[in-house]
């Protein structure tokens, strides 16, 4: 996401016809697009009410799509190989919100995440309302759903946490979920994008969460990584969540691990299967060990624990000089 002072980026849409089978194959996250700085949002829909096999693919881009991106889209719908795609600049609208309106609710573990207030709540579930918006983290992405499922499983096996941090929070969803599971915890949520922090505050209000610094409240900060005095002061955390991207996860490994107490837990997501070894190597070098891995498609969620440091000089808090800054990285 751009920060609030950056000039607006023109939005574009690429449209291609496709078959129903091709549309169903696109129902999820496309690994090839995950490496892009601004991956497109893909939407499929029925094109002809009387022809159940006539579908269309709409891909929404921030900025004009490159020839390589269009070529990749075309490769996903072979039936349209001889058809020229429609490439058009969009009016100055919130295209992410428009593209996500009407998404189906997502259930992960005990959590049921709705994008529209008109969607019914699920009895017996923790119902959360995260409207489609300019920030990532509505629950639709496999990484967010994977984190929700992992948090639920951790609670079910009896894990307890009292000081939680969600770095790269996006919409605030994972911080809210953690507070539902451990309601007496202190929660800190941050994002490099000030707009995401504003949206998280709005979502907190919509879900009956209190923004503040006390127990059972979520404290919100705009920061690159953990580069904020309040985030450092509130350390060490016994649970830290980072659902961002593999590159930032690797770069931030020293500062994120320094924020976690001995025996504490880090939840990592936003990486692809082929990036797991590189990410794990960075965290093992900081004294972390892999405790659990759960995959949703191409997207793994990793639960790590910090090994105790034996000896009388065991570090207890983060060195104030370790700022943990990773400029240019935000939440996935």
pLDDT value for 316:
43
322 within domain boundaries: no
Whether 140 and 281 map to the same domain: the answer is yes
Whether 84 and 173 map to the same domain: the answer is no
296 within domain boundaries: yes
Whether 39 and 147 map to the same domain: the answer is no
1 within domain boundaries: no
Whether 226 and 144 map to the same domain: the answer is yes
Q: Are strands 237-243 and 260-269 parallel, antiparallel or unpaired?
A: parallel
The whole-angstrom separation of Cα 193 and Cα 61 is 19
CATH number at residue 48: 3.30.70
Whether 294 and 227 map to the same domain: the answer is yes
Whether 236 and 287 map to the same domain: the answer is yes
Whether 151 and 249 map to the same domain: the answer is yes
3 within domain boundaries: no
Last residue in a domain, options 78, 94, 110: 94
191 is in an annotated binding site: yes
168 is in an annotated binding site: yes
Whether 137 and 75 map to the same domain: the answer is no
270 is in an annotated binding site: no
- Those residues of the chain that have pLDDT short of 50 are 1-6, 102, 134-140, 312-332
pLDDT value for 122:
86
pLDDT value for 110:
93
Query: Residue 301 class from Cβ within 10 Å (0-12 exposed, 13-18 middle, 19+ buried)?
Result: buried
pLDDT value for 49:
61
How many domains does the chain contain in total? 2
pLDDT value for 117:
75
Q: Which of 1, 331, 40 is nearest to 195 (CA)?
A: 1
CATH number at residue 237: 3.40.50.150
Whether 257 and 188 map to the same domain: the answer is yes
pLDDT value for 154:
96
Whether 79 and 156 map to the same domain: the answer is no
Helices (H), ranges, 117-167:
142-156
User: Can you spell out the DSSP letters for 202-258?
Assistant: HHHHHTTPEESSSTTEEEEEE-STT-SHHHHHTPPEEEEEEES-HHHHHHHHHHHHH
109 within domain boundaries: no
252 within domain boundaries: yes
144 is in an annotated binding site: yes
Whether 224 and 302 map to the same domain: the answer is yes
Q: Which domain holds residue 155?
A: 133-306
238 within domain boundaries: yes
Q: Which two tokens stand for residue 171?
A: 């919409």
Instruction: Collapse the DSSP code of 107 into the 3-class scheme (helix H, G, I; strand E, B; otherwise coil) and give the result.
Output: strand
41 within domain boundaries: yes
Whether 165 and 297 map to the same domain: the answer is yes
pLDDT value for 207:
95
């Amino acid at each position: 996401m751009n920060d609030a002072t950056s000039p607006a980026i023109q939005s574009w849409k690429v449209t291609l016809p496709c078959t129903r089978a091709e549309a169903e194959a696109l129902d999820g996250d496309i690994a090839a697009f995950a490496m892009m700085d601004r991956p497109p949002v893909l939407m499929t829909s029925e094109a002809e009410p009387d022809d159940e096999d006539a579908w269309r693919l709409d891909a929404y881009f921030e900025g004009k799509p490159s020839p390589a991106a269009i070529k990749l889209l075309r490769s996903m719908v072979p039936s349209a190989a001889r058809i020229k795609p429609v490439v058009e600049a969009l009016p100055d609208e919130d295209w992410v919100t428009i593209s996500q309106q009407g998404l189906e609710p997502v259930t992960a573990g005990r959590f049921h995440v709705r994008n529209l207030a008109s969607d019914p709540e699920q009895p017996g579930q923790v119902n959360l309302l995260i409207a489609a918006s300019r920030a990532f983290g509505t629950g639709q992405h496999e990484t967010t759903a994977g984190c929700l499922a992992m948090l639920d499983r951790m609670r079910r096996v009896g894990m307890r946490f009292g000081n939680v941090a969600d770095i790269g929070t996006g919409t605030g969803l994972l911080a809210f979920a953690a507070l539902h599971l451990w309601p007496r915890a202190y929660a800190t949520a941050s994002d490099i994008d000030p707009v995401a922090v504003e949206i998280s505050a709005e979502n907190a209000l919509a879900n009956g969460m209190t923004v503040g610094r006390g127990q059972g409240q979520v404290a919100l900060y705009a920061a690159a990584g953990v580069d904020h005095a309040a985030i450092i002061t509130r350390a060490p955390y016994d649970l830290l969540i980072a659902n961002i991207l593999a590159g930032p996860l690797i770069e931030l490994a020293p500062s994120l691990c320094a924020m976690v107490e001995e025996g504490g837990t880090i939840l990592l997501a936003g990486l692809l299967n082929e990036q797991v070894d590189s990410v794990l190597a960075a965290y093992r070098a900081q004294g972390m060990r892999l405790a659990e891995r759960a995959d949703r498609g191409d997207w793994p969620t990793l639960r790590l624990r910090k090994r105790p440091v034996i000896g009388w000089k065991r570090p207890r808090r983060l060195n104030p000089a370790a700022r943990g800054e990773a400029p240019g990285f935000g939440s996935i």
